[in-house]
């Protein structure tokens, strides 16, 4: 119809290019996640607060409080870094 004839076996190249693009995307996604602290095993403790003390063992509650304290500190650091970067861009 369009005057273009493709040889047999050309679809494998489309599949190879698609697979390569997916793998590159996965690598960049994992790299982003690692740099942005997304692989934190203690994230499960962030859903708990002081009102959940009776639902956890003393060790778990202590760990939960430590994780919450660290995450709040880290949150303030990240916000300060972003504000400093925004101020630097304005100047």
For 50-90, how does the pLDDT look when each residue is reduced to its tens digit (9 = 90+)?
Answer: 888 888 888 988 998 898 899 899 999 999 999 999 999 88
Residue identified by tokens 């939960």 is: 64
Q: What's the mean pLDDT in 13-39? A: 94
SS (H, E, C) the chain: CCCCCCCCCCHHHHHHHHHHHHHHHHHHHHHHHHHCCCCCHHHHHHHCCHHHHHHCCHHHHHHHHHHHHHHHHHHHHHHHHHHHHHHHHHC
Q: Tokens for 24, please give them.
A: 């590159």
pTM for this entry? 0.57
């Amino acid at each position: 119809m369009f005057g273009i004839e493709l040889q047999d076996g050309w679809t494998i190249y489309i599949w190879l290019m698609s697979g390569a693009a997916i793998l590159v995307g996965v690598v960049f996604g994992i790299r982003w996640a690692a740099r942005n602290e997304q692989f934190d095993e203690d994230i499960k403790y962030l859903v708990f607060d002081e009102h959940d003390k009776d639902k956890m063992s003393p060790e778990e509650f202590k760990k939960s409080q430590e994780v919450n304290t660290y995450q709040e500190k880290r949150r303030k650091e990240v916000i300060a870094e972003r504000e400093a970067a925004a101020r630097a861009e304005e100047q």
